[in-house]
């Protein structure tokens, strides 16, 4: 690349954890940046310190530094006075390592004023409704909540559970599906749980009390705890509005979401036994539309018109090249997509399901990038990057 980031003139800023905008990073903040090597999977972190001018000095040496200019840097940072991070000897790009004292490396953005904005904690709200017939919550529900809190902590994402009263006039429900869930998944009244062919219940998710308050809506996922999942092979089912497809003119619905809603919805089995089951479903939401994989990008099922496919591809390409900053031509973006909406890697969060015996707590670096760019984590959903 032609241009260089002049670290001695680049002001360093720190995103606010609880509101839009950012502050100058305090003097003495330690910053680790991945120095681009030309190989996008090769993480090579160098340590810098914020000086009295608010710019960066290399740690341990009094010399100026420049690094190749990109739109984003993989980064970690610690507050002044905090003890240093112990780096692994190498980073596995498919299991982007958790570094004690920070978590997984995250994208730092060079903004339009050529300031480096360090990432900070962001919040996603889970608006939850218990529509199970249990007299008392099974312990599995709290295990899954805690699994989500624990998992997303390392991505500097706070999962804020907001329990809602049981909706008046609505039945307790269970979910039924064909093999492996997916398109056949339907919702039914719990009183019919033994019926062989129970009628479908269409929950009015577009009507009160289900939709999030408008001020919180961009940062909220609706969570419906259901009594049980029958014949699905999974513990949960996530529906996201398919923003890139919606923007291209496609209305996204499913048998369990018969009317399109402009927020994401998760159905979760209250009896789910998987610690990271709910984290996995939240992952589907944060990973969308990138996480829908080649199925839509290449339109393997021939569902899209050429015009919609072109717009959809351009939006996915922008995530990887413009917003994640990968130095790749558009034709190579497809190599970073999974075949469908799950990962083929055994230990990946997005392959965390009952049939898989992997640990289910790893993420690839492109997943980490896509998760952190999710609209649900933005203060202004129209602004992709602060
Ligand atoms: Zn899944």
Nearest to 176 by CA among 197, 149, 156: 197
Report CA(201)–ligand 1 centroid distance (Å): 22
Nearest to 275 by CA among 353, 159, 176, 368: 353
Cβ pair 49, 28 in contact under 8 A: yes
Of the given ranges (117-121, 264-268, 349-353), which has the lowest mean pLDDT?
Answer: 349-353
Report CA(179)–ligand 1 centroid distance (Å): 13
Of the given ranges (47-61, 119-133, 237-251, 306-320), which has the lowest mean pLDDT?
Answer: 237-251
Report CA(12)–ligand 1 centroid distance (Å): 38
Report CA(355)–ligand 1 centroid distance (Å): 12
How many beta carbons lie within 10 A of that of residue 383, not counting itself? Answer: 10
Report CA(53)–ligand 1 centroid distance (Å): 47
Report CA(353)–ligand 1 centroid distance (Å): 7
Report CA(61)–ligand 1 centroid distance (Å): 48
Q: Rounded to an integer, what distance in angstroms lies between the CA atom of residue 51 and that of residue 226?
A: 53
Q: Rounded to an integer, what distance in angstroms lies between the CA atom of residue 56 and that of residue 72?
A: 16
Q: Rounded to an integer, what distance in angstroms lies between the CA atom of residue 93 and that of residue 21?
A: 30
Report CA(371)–ligand 1 centroid distance (Å): 15
Report CA(227)–ligand 1 centroid distance (Å): 19
Mean pLDDT of 252-263: 80
Query: pLDDT value at position 268?
Result: 96
Report CA(194)–ligand 1 centroid distance (Å): 26
Report CA(350)–ligand 1 centroid distance (Å): 6
Higher pLDDT pick, 214 / 63: 214
Query: pLDDT tens digit string along 331-381?
Result: 999 999 999 999 999 999 999 877 777 778 999 999 999 999 998 888 766
Residue 151's pLDDT band, with cuts at 50, 70 and 90, is very high
Q: Where in the chain are the domains?
A: 4-118, 122-377
Report CA(105)–ligand 1 centroid distance (Å): 24
Strands 173-176 and 229-230 turn out to be parallel
Q: Rounded to an integer, what distance in angstroms lies between the CA atom of residue 226 and that of residue 141?
A: 10
| Dihedrals phi, psi of 56, to nearest 5 degrees | -105, 135
Query: pLDDT tens digit string along 177-221?
Result: 864 444 578 899 999 999 988 999 999 999 999 999 998 888 999
Q: Rounded to an integer, what distance in angstroms lies between the CA atom of residue 30 and that of residue 229?
A: 47
Query: pLDDT value at position 381?
Result: 64
Of the given ranges (226-230, 303-307, 375-379), which has the lowest mean pLDDT?
Answer: 375-379
Report CA(342)–ligand 1 centroid distance (Å): 6
DSSP state of 83: P
Report CA(8)–ligand 1 centroid distance (Å): 45
Report CA(277)–ligand 1 centroid distance (Å): 9
Report CA(341)–ligand 1 centroid distance (Å): 7
Report CA(34)–ligand 1 centroid distance (Å): 31
Report CA(278)–ligand 1 centroid distance (Å): 10
Report CA(356)–ligand 1 centroid distance (Å): 12
Element (H, E) at 285: helix 277-287
Residue 293's pLDDT band, with cuts at 50, 70 and 90, is very high
Average pLDDT, rounded, for the chain: 89
Share of the chain above pLDDT 90, in %: 65
Query: pLDDT value at position 68?
Result: 78
Query: pLDDT tens digit string along 156-176?
Result: 999 999 999 999 999 999 999
Report CA(374)–ligand 1 centroid distance (Å): 17
Residue 382: asked if its preceding bond is cis (omega within 30°), the reply is no
Mean pLDDT of 13-27: 90
Of the given ranges (13-17, 48-52, 118-122), which has the lowest mean pLDDT?
Answer: 13-17
């Amino acid at each position: 690349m032609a241009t260089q980031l002049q670290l001695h003139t680049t002001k360093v800023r720190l995103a606010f954890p609880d509101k839009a905008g950012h502050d100058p990073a305090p003097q003495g903040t330690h910053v680790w940046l991945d120095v681009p090597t030309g190989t996008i999977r090769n993480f090579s972190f160098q340590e810098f310190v914020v000086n009295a001018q608010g710019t960066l000095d290399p740690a341990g040496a009094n010399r100026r530094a420049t690094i190749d200019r990109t739109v984003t840097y993989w980064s970690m940072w610690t507050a002044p006075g905090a003890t240093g991070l112990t780096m692994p000897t190498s980073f596995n790009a498919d299991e982007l390592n958790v570094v004690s004292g920070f978590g997984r490396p995250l994208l730092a953005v060079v903004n339009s004023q050529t300031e480096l904005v360090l990432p900070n904690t962001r919040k996603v709200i889970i608006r939850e409704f218990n529509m199970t017939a249990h007299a008392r919550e099974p312990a599995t529900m709290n295990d899954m909540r805690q699994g989500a809190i624990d998992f997303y902590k390392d991505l500097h994402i706070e999962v804020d559970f907001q329990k809602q009263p049981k909706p008046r006039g609505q039945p307790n429900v269970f979910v039924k599906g064909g093999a492996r869930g997916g398109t056949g998944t339907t919702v039914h009244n719990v009183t019919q749980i033994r019926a062989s062919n129970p009628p479908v219940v269409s929950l009015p998710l577009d009507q009160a009390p289900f939709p999030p308050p408008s001020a919180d809506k961009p940062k909220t996922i609706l969570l419906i705890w259901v009594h049980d999942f029958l014949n699905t092979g999974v513990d949960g089912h996530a529906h996201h509005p398919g923003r890139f497809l919606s923007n291209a003119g496609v209305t996204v619905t499913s048998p369990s979401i018969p009317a399109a809603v402009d927020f994401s919805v998760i159905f979760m089995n209250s009896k789910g036994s998987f610690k990271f089951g709910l984290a996995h479903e939240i992952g589907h939401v944060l990973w969308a539309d990138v996480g829908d994989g080649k199925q839509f990008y290449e339109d393997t099922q021939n569902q899209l018109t050429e015009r919609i496919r072109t717009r959809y591809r351009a939006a996915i390409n922008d995530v990887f090249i413009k917003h994640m900053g990968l130095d790749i031509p558009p034709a190579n973006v497809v190599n970073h997509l999974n075949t469908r909406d799950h990962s083929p890697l055994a230990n990946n969060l997005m392959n965390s399901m009952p049939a898989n015996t992997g640990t289910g707590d790893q993420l690839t670096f492109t997943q980490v990038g896509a998760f952190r760019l999710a609209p649900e984590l933005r203060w202004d959903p129209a602004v992709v990057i602060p």
